[in-house]
Amino acid sequence: MSGTWIERFKGLRLLPDDVREDLIQGSKVVSLPARTQVFAPGQSADSLLLLLEGTVRVQQKSDTGREVFLYRVHAGESCVLTTACMLAFEEYSADGIAETDVTAVAIPRKTFDDLAAKSSVFREFIFTAYSRRITDLFTLIDDIVFQRMDVRLASRLLELAGKQDIVHATHAMLGSELGTAREVISRTLAEFHRRGWVEQSRGEVHLTGRDGLERLVRSAGGAY
Amino acid sequence: MSGTWIERFKGLRLLPDDVREDLIQGSKVVSLPARTQVFAPGQSADSLLLLLEGTVRVQQKSDTGREVFLYRVHAGESCVLTTACMLAFEEYSADGIAETDVTAVAIPRKTFDDLAAKSSVFREFIFTAYSRRITDLFTLIDDIVFQRMDVRLASRLLELAGKQDIVHATHAMLGSELGTAREVISRTLAEFHRRGWVEQSRGEVHLTGRDGLERLVRSAGGAY
DNA sequence: CCTATAGTGTGACCAAGTCACCAAAGTCTC
DNA sequence: GAGACTTTGGTGACTTGGTCACACTATAGG
């Protein structure tokens, strides 16, 4: 009973065998191509998704037509907030878009409720996922309110680059990630360039001075 | 079995009798004086609170020492986020303060988990509460990012005034509610005064032209 | 009364969002 | 390849909002 997708989720490894069986039987693995709308406001979700591969971008459309980036779901995480909706029979206000090709486990409402009743390990898994997401939202709010844009941009660039030294994103995309205007990104990147921290070309940013960016982030007590 | 506090929570009225009994036996009603710290970061919560009387203000302390107001829990609602922490064994990053004298039902972890296993009605109650809170947070983020301060202040004044025409709060308090500086509140209120919408005195704001405020809020597609 | 303190008012300045453009780099079509 | 169109990035002028410094005023407590 090892080698199933369950092993990929730390919180589920401790599930007793019979519950595992239920979970595997009662759910199915699905694939979605990049740029699919995974869920949308006004469309009541009927499954909880656990991501196996790819990333999903969750954002909120404002009344004014603009969008705020809320968070990104990575492989090994779950779209908990879909659950919120699923269980609360409430309409969702955020929408999710597959950023890459995605494979995920879809747990339908019925299976979910059965497992929540049956297994305390499963309950804990769900609540931990919630908790983490909510904490992230708190951090996001904090950032938006108190953190300077240059610090937030530096931090996000480092995050998006990962181990590489390049970020593939237009200024407009970066602006939407941080909930700010493209112009602000352009100006801030120009400043970073002046300081020798980045080189730019169309649609990409090369990090040529990570340490500068890192120092900036640290100096502000940032999260990364 | 009517006339207990359970009746005050819509989502719990449908609980079967045996579960009600468990809930009442396994929890207790507590009272807290105004300004008590209900929960704090770094102090792992051991009960879920359902508010019977009073209000609790939930805010997040920033690294930089300032605070962001997150939301207010009213009578008939629950401190769900405490739950997140409680169940996830994670440390909480927000803190809650009783704004008034408060009475609440405290459900310890053990009871909570038993009920979650036993009753689908209880599970739905919990998830609905979560869902509502998360949606509120989304709306908050949206407001912070896209809404003008004058609209937000007008909206908040109307909300705080309720059916009365007076708000008891200093400029500093209003500033902290909206995550902005006292000076901004002073200036905006001065503007509202010039337009004949409010009169001010020390520690209070009289709404003398609700319609003006309401028009401002509506004109921006506001939430109220 | 006098003084401390909490609450409020204001001006100068800076950071960031908005608006209106323009310029440069890629794409498509013929 | 030439020309038209689209996407992306750059820039200046202006507005809003946050920060800092400091002055003024009401009120509570001696």
Q: What is the pLDDT of residue A64?
A: 66
Query: And the tokens for B210?
Result: 């609700």
The CA distances from residue A75 to A9, A95, A102, in Å, are 9, 18, 9
Q: What pLDDT does B203 receive?
A: 94
Residues from chain B contacting residue A78 (CB–CB below 8 Å): none
Q: In which element (H, E) is residue A149 found?
A: helix A149-161
Q: In chain B, what residues touch A137 (CB-CB under 8 Å)?
A: 134, 137, 141
d(CA A78, CA A49): 6
Sheet arrangement for strand B102-108: B28-32, B102-108, B47-53
SS3 B36: coil
pLDDT for A6 beyond 70: yes
Collect all residues of chain A within an 8 Å Cβ-Cβ radius of residue B124.
Answer: 87-88
Closest residue, CA to C1' of C9: B186
B75 vs chain A: nearest CA distance in angstroms? 20
Higher-confidence residue of B216 and B133: namely: B216
Would you give the distance in Å from CA A200 to the centre of its chain?
Answer: 26
Residue A22 corresponds to which tokens in the numbers above?
């239920």
The pLDDT tens digits for B84-123 are 777 776 666 788 999 999 999 999 999 999 999 999 999 9
Average pLDDT score over residue span A68-88:
85
CA B162 to centroid of chain Cα atoms = 15
Across the strands, what pairs with A28?
A106
D15 closest protein residue (CA to C1'): B148
Is A90 in contact with B138 (Cβ distance < 8 A)?
no
Residue of A nearest to B138 (CA): A60
**What pLDDT, in 10s, does the model give residues A139-177?**
999 999 999 999 999 999 999 999 999 999 999 999 999
Mean pLDDT, chain B, as a whole number? 90
Whole-number Å distance between alpha carbons of A61 and B182: 30
**Segment A206-220 mean pLDDT:** 93
Both tokens of A49, joined, read 């998704």
User: Cα distance from B219 to chain A (closest Cα, Å)?
Assistant: 12
Strand spans (E) along chain A: 28-32, 37-39, 47-53, 56-61, 67-73, 94-98, 102-108, 166-168, 198-201, 204-207
Contact A136, A37 (CB under 8 A): no
Predicted local confidence at residue A89, as pLDDT: 66
The helix-helix angle for A210-219 and A149-161 (nearest 10°) equals 130
Q: Which residue of chain B is at minimal alpha-carbon distance from A84? A: B131
CB-closest option in A116, A130, A179 to B123: A116
Residues B90, A128: C-beta atoms closer than 8 Å: yes
Could you tell me which chain A residue has the CA closest to the CA of B219? A64
Closest-CA distance, B203 to chain A, in angstroms, reads 25
Of the listed ranges A39-43, B3-7, B75-79, B187-191, the least confidently predicted one is A39-43
Hey, are the CB atoms on B63 and A118 less than 8 Å from each other? no
At residue B64, the pLDDT reads 65
Note the strand C nucleotides within 7 A of protein beta carbons.
6-12, 15-20, 25-26
Question: Which among B62, B103, B204, B221 is positioned nearest to B155, based on CA atoms?
Answer: B221
Among A128-142, A165-179, B20-34, B155-169, which is the least confidently predicted range? A128-142
Contact yes or no for B31/B17 (Cβ under 8 A): no
Q: Whole-prediction pTM value?
A: 0.90
Q: Tell me B78's DSSP state.
A: B
Q: Which of A84, A127, A133 sits opposite B87 (nearest CB)?
A: A127
Of B68, B85, B127, the CB nearest to A88: B127
Distance CA A172, CA A174 (A): 5
Summarised one tens digit per residue, pLDDT across range B185-209 is: 999 999 999 999 999 999 999 999 9
Residue A186 is predicted with a pLDDT of 97
The pLDDT confidence band at residue A61, using thresholds 50, 70 and 90, is: confident
CA distance B203 to A12: 53
